[in-house]
Amino acid sequence: MTDLPDDPVQRQYEAYPYPERDAAEEATRLISGSPSHPFEIDHFLFDGVRDWSQPFRVLVAGGGTGDALIMLAQILADNGVQAEIVYLDMSQASRRIAEARAKVRGLTNIRFETGNLLDAASYGSFDYIDCCGVLHHLPDPDAGFAALRGALAEGGGIGAMVYAPYGRAGVYEMQDALKALVLDDSPQEQVRMARMLLQGLPPTNGLARNPFLNDHAHGGDAGLYDLLLHSRDRPYTVPQLFDTLERAGLTFVSFAAPGRYDPRMMIGDPELRARAEVLPYRERAALAERLVGNIKVHAFYATADNTPKQVAQITEDTVPCLIGASGAALAESIYKTGMIRGEFDGVAFQRKLPNDAAGMLAAIDGRRNLEEVRRIMGWEKPRFNELFTTLYQPLNNFGLMRFSHLKRFASQR
């Protein structure tokens, strides 16, 4: 194993596994998120048509207390996918929590390993690698990106999350301020003093002025440590992220919520909007990040293929699936208000949709393909396709609809 001798980050995650999780809660809920929901993996990396009868090898690199691990392992098991999921983390304390969560659920598709993700390839080659909230803590993040690329099977891809600077406004000043005050104290003492400092901050303090950062308020001691006392944590702007991927030989596929990176959402003036529209994608996304100011993390998908990948196309065989939203709730909103609405860290979005879109949502069950949905509605193809595209665009942009054959596969077994 590649050692990190006396590494402060390693010490941190032994003292404060993050995020704080209690295995007993597995009996009451499944934490679901992005990246790494299987619908999303299918949508962004396998054209929305992965053949789930084929074995699926996954690496969860820096798996921590197990959120992505448990989500993936449970959903793949529930749908009868033959999967092997390798959990890899250098923190023994985090692994114990993740193992306890898997045990409560009776999951048998996970192999637990303690080690450094720089050695990822020594655990095999993987169809999918999750790496969420980890790479920005490495001494040499580029080496981490390259190591993950080196562990991808042909045609496989990565779903990752790294910090972004503007939405974390206030964090880095506070990290530096705390280093000046409590660097040599024990982790527990650092947390105690950080809480004292937070209580007396002036209203002009950057963190106090950023209402969308609340890990320190709601994430317990581990949340506070992770946000404000981290010894190694670097954010990525959109251009920095794209440059990093390029250096690692990874090809960007999509952000998990592409709508957050569309500058047209943030520009009212038509002339300026038209200028934004003609920028290359990378510059458009960078512009959106700068204008909106609230992006705290970048959750994205990438592959090792050299050619840019088309995200899942709409065909008759497309199986639309909803994530994090119920079709009934969306349909009700459309009937009542003629809109779907949402909010991301203080920015509201709304899209007008015709009442027929609510009817279409009622026929979308994650198993039917579009041809079957169309037959239920009894519509002609052109009219049906136009309505589906109108519905799909905002739902995909905000991470609510993906294409995947997973549940269809499970229902046909």
Ligand X SMILES: C[S@@+](CC[C@H](N)C(=O)[O-])C[C@H]1O[C@@H](n2cnc3c(N)ncnc32)[C@H](O)[C@@H]1O
Point out which residues bind ligand X (CB under 6 A). Answer: 9, 13, 18-19, 62-64, 67-68, 88-91, 94, 116-118, 132-134, 137-138, 226
Question: Which C-beta is closer to ligand X: that of 76 or that of 266?
Answer: 76
To the nearest whole angstrom, how small is the minimum distance from the Cβ of residue 65 to ligand X?
A: 6
Shortest Cβ 161–ligand X spacing (Å):
7
Token pair recorded at residue 385: 């396709």
Q: How far apart are CA 361 and CA 373, in angstroms?
A: 9
Q: Closest Cα to residue 279, out of 309, 236, 235, 238? A: 238
**Smallest distance, Å, CB 118 to ligand X?**
6
User: Closer to ligand X at the Cβ: 116 or 254?
Assistant: 116
- Least distance from C-beta 114 to ligand X, angstroms? 9
Name the E strands within 73-200: 83-89, 110-114, 126-132, 152-163
Q: Count CB-CB contacts under 10 A for residue 89.
A: 26
CA–CA dist 391, 195 (Å, integer): 46
Smallest distance from ligand X to CB 277, Å: 34
CA distance 80 to 76: 6
Which residue number, 110 or 358, has a Cβ lying nearer to ligand X? 110
CB of 22 to ligand X, least distance (A): 14
Q: Length of the chain, please?
A: 413
3-state helix, strand, coil in the chain (%, to 5): 50, 15, 35
Structure tokens at 74: 């449970």
Nearest distance from C-beta of residue 21 to ligand X, angstroms: 9
57 touches 45 (CB < 8 A)? no
Three-state secondary structure readout of 37-49: CHHHHHHHHCCCC
C-beta separation of 134 from 144 below 8 A = yes
CB of 391 to ligand X, least distance (A): 31
CA 388 to chain centre: 25
| Residue 320, C-beta contacts closer than 8 angstroms, at least 6 positions apart | 364, 366, 370, 373, 388, 392, 401, 402, 403
